[in-house]
Amino acid sequence: MSIQPVVAAVDGSQDSLRALDWALDAARRRGAPLRVVHVRQYAPWPQAEALAAAPPDPDDDAVLEQVRGHLKDRAGPPAVEYTALDGAPGAVLSELGATAGLLVLGSRGRGGFASLLLGSNSLAAARDAECPVVVVPRPREQDGDEAPAAPGPRVVAGLNVDSPDEATLGFAFTEAALRGARLSVVTAYPWPLQTWMLPGEMPPPEIDQGAVEHENRVLAEGFLAPHRERHPDVAVEILTLPGDAAGHLVDASRGAGLVVVGRHRRRLLAPARMMGSVTQAVLLHAVSPVAVVPPAPAEE
């Protein structure tokens, strides 16, 4: 069985070249081929009809020629394939996820507003692609007063103990194993708890925060146990924290090689694909690359 390629989306911007470098490293770690794709926006009518009749030639694509020069001195594997496509980039890139093991994009491209932290194409691919999507952000200055993290590579994963996703945990463990990194699993619980009482009602008994934290840790340990058995060499730490999950994941992204988050599963009353507020906040504000993992298919 052949290994699915790592797909790197490029558009000639520095953001896409950073994503390309990340994708090249990921392909080498996986022993997978690298597919470099440039999606050209549909040409204005009437040129669009002519373009549809003649697929673009990757050898005549200026952006792909730039990429060839960028990769020229990178010796060794993986095998690299170059593809030029015409269409709406967000939709085309999402469709490529059906035949990819991983899709990698920069957080911003050439289009849109430079002040935005996340581009529409990256957002659409992370929301709609069938494979995991990695969004590589622009470099940012990190706060100098942050406590230094323990040395060595680190992967961060978000875990919601109320609705854990096996695909997200599996991807995080695999990525940590490929990188020889330790895995920091962040699980948050609401605190302080909000209680509402009608007039005349007795207040509920006081809830011990330590007990809530312990319960969340026990649940997390249970969900992680089978993945630890499959990856015994991955060192795992569980961070059980009160309050905002997105804020804790963004804080943990400082100094991390990758943050792994899940995407909402489709529901009967909400059949469209959804990102989830935590995932979207992490994509917007994390200082490390972020992997958005689609949920495992629901069992019949």
- Which residue, among 91, 123, 92, 94, has the nearest Cα to 106 in the 3D structure? 123
Q: Which fold has domain 6-136?
A: Rossmann fold (3.40.50)
* Across 124-147, average pLDDT: 81
Please give the pLDDT value at position 190. 84
Neighbour tally for 252: CB within 10 Å? 23
Question: In the Cβ-directed half-sphere of 153, how many Cα atoms lie within 13 Å?
Answer: 12
Specify the amino acid at residue 33: P
**pLDDT tens figures, 160-180:** 999 899 999 999 999 999 999
**How far is Cα 213 from Cα 40, in angstroms, rounded to an integer?**
50
Rounded CA-CA distance 246/281 in Å is: 6
Whole-number average pLDDT of the chain: 84
What type of residue is 168? T
Q: Which amino acid is residue 212, in one-letter code? A: V
3 state SS of 98: helix
Higher pLDDT: 145 or 213? It is 213
The stretch 90-106 carries a mean pLDDT of 94
List where CATH 3.40.50.620 sits in the chain. Answer: 6-136, 154-293
Nearest to 134 by CA among 277, 13, 27, 244: 27
Name the H helices within the chain: 14-30, 47-53, 62-71, 89-96, 120-128, 166-179, 209-230, 245-252, 277-285
DSSP letter at 88 equals: -
In the structure encoding, which two tokens stand for residue 203, read together? 């207040």
Give residue 141's identity as a one-letter amino acid code: E
Q: Which residues pair with 155 in a beta bridge?
A: 183, 258
Q: Residue 37: enclosing H or E segment and its boundaries?
A: strand 34-40
| 45: CB partners within 8 A, 6+ apart | none
269 pLDDT more than 90: no
Count of beta carbons in the 10 Å neighbourhood of residue 211: 9
pLDDT, greater one: 24 or 296? 24
pLDDT in tens, 224-245: 999 999 999 999 999 999 999 9
Report which of residues 123 and 117 the model is more confident about.
Answer: 123
- Over residues 22-62, the pLDDT tens digits come to 999 999 999 999 999 999 886 545 544 544 556 678 888 99
Candidates 60, 115, 111; CA nearest to 89 is 111
Report whether pLDDT(206) > 90.
no
Cα 96 to chain center, whole Å? 16
Q: CB–CB of 204/195 below 8 Å?
A: yes
CATH topology of domain 154-293: Rossmann fold (3.40.50)
